[in-house]
Chain A
Amino acid sequence: MIVEPYVKNYLSEHYGDDAFRTLAGYEAMGGFAGLRKAVALAPEQVTELVKASGLRGRGGAGFATGLKWSFMPKTSDRMKVIVANGDESEPGSFKDRLIMERGPFEVLEGILISAWAMGAQRTYLYVRGEYQEAIRALESAVKQLHARKLLGKNILGKKGFEHDIVVHSGAGAYICGEETGLLESLEGKKGQPRKKPPFPAQHGAFGLPTTVNNVETFAHVPFILDRGVEWFKGRGTEKSPGTTLFGVSGHVERPGLFELPLGTPLREVLGHAGGVRGGRRLKGVMPGGLSMPILPPTELEVPMAEEFLSQKGTHLGTGGVMVMDESVCMVRVATVVSYFFRDESCGQCTQCREGTAWVHKLCQKIEQGRGTEADLALLGDVPALMEGQTICAFADAAAWPIQGLLRHFRDDFEAHVREKKCPFPESFEL
């Protein structure tokens, strides 16, 4: 069990301290200073500050948080809802789990600040069902907030500032991390994403005006309010300020979490993780979770921020960095990747449901040494027929990593077809 990152920064400074998971401890370590400053401002000023901070969502898409908040209707005769997305399921990503387990009050304080800014009365905090420890930590934290009247009516003595938080457990479906899939799931339905428009701000959870943000995104907000926009913009890059918890896994000496400024070069991130295990050579790195295209070892200088990674044909995603050493068979990687997306496709759109099945079948066939030139050509074609053709971004997420593997490691695929077997005897087992 990880209790704190190997490299800490403002977000995770106190994660190693059990007292930080209690309200008294959290306040003693500076907690709720951000909320106090927020309620001294008009709600729209808080949204403006978050806009000015440049905070981008940490759930994978990197959308501007303050802008998202501004989409919420100013006045509404219906209840306004916040949904905190703690459904972390992106393979290679394990930061939200630590944030919820070790810093639950950071998330809840961020939620309360956003509730003040948007005039929302209710939050549904949707946590993936497998994260039982996180659910326990958050439920306990919510209870403590109630006891201290930091939830309920007239919070911090502000008339009309009324809020409640419901922790809601998911039940094991990757697609529920997609914001409208999550909303369907929250409503007690299959987690099949919705067509947009209407967008959640108009028609969200239970048809109510809704804003969905990732839990890490909320956790940054108290620091922006307390320490100021200029302070926040002083770390990270101009377009991607602040830190994130990079999760490094796979073939490194020291897998784990590292809270580093966005824009930290990939080489430095890997250095913190002790480099490739056993002094072996690096073969490839997936920089942003399983959905994001792989990078070859020639790209280690890239700063880990969206604006730089997108120039390299990939994305920051959730900052889940998966490292593969020279032993790895990239056709096996494609087989694991394609199995996952076939398994998790919600089945709603034909291009995705059928495409993910075809891609997996082809990867498997090639991996087993039964693939032909025609199969390899088809594997090149199918992802392009899925990308951008469906209701949600899942099909893109299924297509991109396969395209990345074919772009940078085509030799591995061709060798399987030519030799009619896997030429990497040392590779991890399937």
Chain B
Amino acid sequence: MRPATRAKIESLFERYPEKRGALLPAIYLVQEEQGHVDADGARELAALFELEPVEVWEVLTFYNMFYTEPQGRHHVYVCTNLPCSLRGARTLLKGLESHLGVHGAGTTKDGRITIGHEECLGSCGTAPMLRVDGRYHENLDLAAARRIVDELE
């Protein structure tokens, strides 16, 4: 990790009675820098937090928003839990996957987009929806969803 990232992580320690409290925020920071956190990244974090690498690894693999594998340049997620499914989210997801040439969750060949489904994102009143690089796009149909992904570089 870059020295600036390390410094940012160290500045978080004082917010928690034990520095391990800063582990989730620290993983976000490494991910922001590197796109994902691989075994080397986990070892570096473990050294910084005085933990065993496996203790970092078990946290990394427990949470959906942490990635241990390289990701596409953009993340596109479709919520497919019940309220969204009732309003056609799965049909929309299939349409987007075939539009992007990805079948099932995965990344486009050019590395542009990683697409997948997510569980409830709290947009039940504005379904169906996409979460694109952290931003919500709501009340969509397939045409609108395609326009959003087509604009991603």
Contacts and interface: CB of A to CB of B under 8 A. Distances in A.
A255 B125 contact: yes
Interface in B126-153: 126-127, 131, 134-136, 138
Contacts of B25: 168-169
B124 A255 contact: yes
A188 interface: yes
B16 A206 contact: yes
Contacts of B21: 168, 186-188, 206
Contacts of B16: 166, 188, 206
Contact of B119 (A2, A91, A93): A91
A168 B83 contact: no
B124 A320 contact: yes
B51 to A, nearest CB: 9
B65 A172 contact: yes
A173 B18 contact: no
B90 interface: yes
A30 B58 CA distance: 46
Contacts of A129: 28, 63, 65
Interface stretch (A66-74, A223-231, A333-341): A333-341
Contacts of B1: none
Interface in B48-94: 49, 58-59, 62-66, 80-83, 85-88, 90-91, 94
Interface residues of A, number: 61
A65 interface: no
Contacts of A174: 119
A94 B125 contact: yes
Given A1-B138, A188-B59, A428-B88, A256 B18 contact: no
A430 B27 CA distance: 34
Contacts of A17: none
Contacts of A323: 86
A185 interface: yes
B125 A2 contact: yes
A133 B58 CA distance: 28
A50 interface: no
B120 A92 contact: yes
A171 B136 contact: no
A170 B125 CA distance: 23
Interface string A242-272: 0000011111000111000000000000000
B20 interface: yes
B30 interface: no
Interface string A262-303: 000000000000000000000000100010000000000000
B17 interface: yes
A174 B64 CA distance: 10
Given A172-B64, A173-B63, A247-B125, A91 B83 contact: yes
A132 B134 contact: yes
A139 interface: no
A362 interface: no
B86 A250 contact: yes
Contacts of B131: 130
Given A79-B17, A249-B127, A340-B81, A191 B62 contact: yes
A126 to B, nearest CB: 10
A185 to B, nearest CB: 7
B18 A187 contact: yes
A241 to B, nearest CB: 25
Interface in A150-188: 166, 168-174, 185-188
A134 to B, nearest CB: 9
Contacts of A109: none
29 contacts: A1-B138, A91-B82, A93-B120, A93-B124, A94-B123, A128-B122, A129-B28, A129-B65, A130-B118, A169-B24, A171-B64, A172-B63, A172-B65, A188-B23, A189-B20, A189-B23, A190-B59, A206-B18, A208-B17, A249-B86, A249-B125, A249-B127, A250-B124, A255-B87, A290-B82, A336-B85, A340-B81, A428-B87, A428-B88
Interface of B: 15-18, 20-25, 27-28, 49, 58-59, 62-66, 80-83, 85-88, 90-91, 94, 118-127, 131, 134-136, 138
